[in-house]
Structure 1
C-alpha cells in the first residue's frame, strides 16, 4: 500500500472474493456483447493452423539450434 498517501483499506474477505469471482464467471453474456461467429469459424481456424504448421516447425528447429549453441557456450 502507499503508506502516507492513501488511507489503508480493509482487505476483502474470502467470501466476498468468491462472490465477485462467481459473479464474473457465471454471469450471462448480454446479447451483442460477444463476437458473432458464423458456422465456419472452427474450420477456418483449423485451416489457418495447418497453413502455419510448416513455418512454426521451421521456427521450432531454429530455436532448438539457438538453444544448443547457447548451451555449448554456457549461456
Structure 2
C-alpha cells in the first residue's frame, strides 16, 4: 500500500477499524461543538433547487437525445 510514497503504511485490521468506529460513536458529544446553522438554511436549499430545475430539465432532454442517437447507431 502506498508504494513509493510511504512504505510504512499498512492497512488497518478489521478489529482496529471496529474499535475506532465504536469509540467515535460512543464518545459523548462535545458541548458547543456542533455547527451553528441559521434558521433559513432549509428555505435557501429549496430555492436553489427550484432555480436549478430549468437547467436540470434541459440536461434531461439533452441526455435523452444522446441516448436516442446512440440507440440509432447501435452504440
TM range (shorter): 0.5 to 0.7
SS of 1:19's equivalent in the other structure is helix
Partner of 2:46: 46
**Structure 1 length-normalised TM:** 0.64
Regions of 4+ moved over 6 Å: none
Q: What stretches of structure 1 of length at least 5 have no aligned partner?
A: none
Count, aligned residues: 72
Q: What stretches of structure 2 of length at least 5 have no aligned partner?
A: none
CA–CA separation in structure 2 for the residues paired with 1:41 and 1:69? 41
